[in-house]
A and B are shown apart, each in its own frame.
Chain A
Amino acid sequence: MSEKVLMKGNEAVAEGAIRSGCRHFFGYPITPQNELAAYMSKRMPKENGVFLQAESEIAAINMVLGAAATGVRAMTSSSSPGIALKSEGLSYLAGCDLPAVLVNVQRGGPGLGGIQPGQADYFIATQGSGHGDFRMIVLAPGGVQEMFDHAVLAFYLADRYRMTVMILSDGILGQMMEPVTFGNTVSDAPEKPWALGINRKREKNIVSSLFLDPYALEAQNFRRFERYAEVEANEARFEGFMLDDAEIVVVAYGASARVARNSIAEARSQGIKAGMLRPITLWPFPKEACLSAAKTAKAFISVEMSMGQMVKDIELAVRCGCPVLLCNRVGGVVPEPAQVLDCIRKAADL
Chain B
Amino acid sequence: MSREILIAGFGGQGVLFSGKFLANIGLLNNQEVSWLPSYGPEMRGGTANCGVILSPDTIGCPVVSRPDVLIALNLPSLDKFENAVKPSGHIFTDSSMISKKVKRTDVIVHNIPAAKMAEDNALSGLGSMIMAGGVISLLDGISDDLIESAMRKTVPKRKQALFDSNMKAVYIGQNAV
A178 to chain B, nearest CB (A): 5
Q: Which of A252-302 contact B (CB under 8 A)?
A: 255, 258-262, 265
Contact: A176 with B39, CB < 8 Å? no
User: Interface majority SS on B: helix, strand, loop or mixed?
Assistant: mixed
Contact: B39 with A171, CB < 8 Å? yes
Contact: A334 with B23, CB < 8 Å? no
Whether B104 sits at the interface, judged by CB under 8 Å, is no
Q: Which of A291-339 contact B (CB under 8 A)?
A: 334, 336-337
Contact: B33 with A178, CB < 8 Å? yes
For A179, the chain B residues whose CB sits under 8 A away are 27, 32-33
- A169-202 toward B: CB 8 Å interface, digit per residue (1/0)? 0011001111100000000000000000000000
Contact: A258 with B20, CB < 8 Å? no
Q: Which of B24, B60, B63 has the most CB of A within 10 A?
A: B60
For A172, the chain B residues whose CB sits under 8 A away are 36, 62-63
* A334 to B, closest residue via Cβ: B63
For B23, the chain A residues whose CB sits under 8 A away are 6, 177
Query: In the bound complex, how far is the Cα of B63 from the Cα of A259, in angstroms?
Result: 8
For B34, the chain A residues whose CB sits under 8 A away are 176-178
Tell me the number of A-to-B contacts counted with CB atoms below 8 Å. Answer: 62
For A171, the chain B residues whose CB sits under 8 A away are 39
For B27, the chain A residues whose CB sits under 8 A away are 4, 6, 179
Contact: B153 with A115, CB < 8 Å? no
Query: In the bound complex, how far is the Cα of B40 from the Cα of A294, in angstroms?
Result: 41
Contact: A178 with B35, CB < 8 Å? yes
Whether B61 sits at the interface, judged by CB under 8 Å, is yes
User: Interface majority SS on A: helix, strand, loop or mixed?
Assistant: mixed
Contact: A177 with B61, CB < 8 Å? no
Whether A116 sits at the interface, judged by CB under 8 Å, is yes
A99 to chain B, nearest CB (A): 32
For B59, the chain A residues whose CB sits under 8 A away are 178, 258
Query: In the bound complex, how far is the Cα of B27 from the Cα of A115, in angstroms?
Result: 29
Contact: A261 with B24, CB < 8 Å? no
For A255, the chain B residues whose CB sits under 8 A away are 62
Whether B160 sits at the interface, judged by CB under 8 Å, is no
| Given known A6-B27, A6-B153, contact A175–B36 (CB-CB < 8 A) | yes
| Given known A6-B23, A6-B27, A177-B23, contact A258–B37 (CB-CB < 8 A) | no
Whether A81 sits at the interface, judged by CB under 8 Å, is no
For B60, the chain A residues whose CB sits under 8 A away are 258-262, 265, 337
Contact: B35 with A177, CB < 8 Å? yes
For B58, the chain A residues whose CB sits under 8 A away are 261
Query: In the bound complex, how far is the Cα of B72 from the Cα of A206, in angstroms?
Result: 62
* B153 to A, closest residue via Cβ: A6
Whether B65 sits at the interface, judged by CB under 8 Å, is yes
Query: In the bound complex, how far is the Cα of B124 from the Cα of A6, in angstroms?
Result: 27
B7 to chain A, nearest CB (A): 14
Contact: B37 with A175, CB < 8 Å? yes
| Given known A6-B23, A6-B153, A179-B33, contact A258–B40 (CB-CB < 8 A) | no
Contact: A6 with B20, CB < 8 Å? yes
Could you list some 27 contacts between A and B, CB below 8 A?
Answer: A4-B27, A6-B23, A32-B39, A32-B40, A115-B39, A116-B40, A172-B63, A175-B37, A176-B34, A176-B37, A176-B62, A177-B23, A178-B62, A179-B27, A179-B32, A179-B33, A258-B62, A259-B61, A261-B60, A261-B61, A262-B60, A262-B61, A334-B63, A336-B61, A336-B65, A337-B60, A337-B61
A-B pairs, top 6 by smallest CB distance, nearest first, are A261-B60, A262-B60, A177-B35, A176-B36, A259-B61, A262-B61
Binding site for A on B (CB under 8 A): 20, 23-24, 27, 32-37, 39-40, 58-63, 65, 153
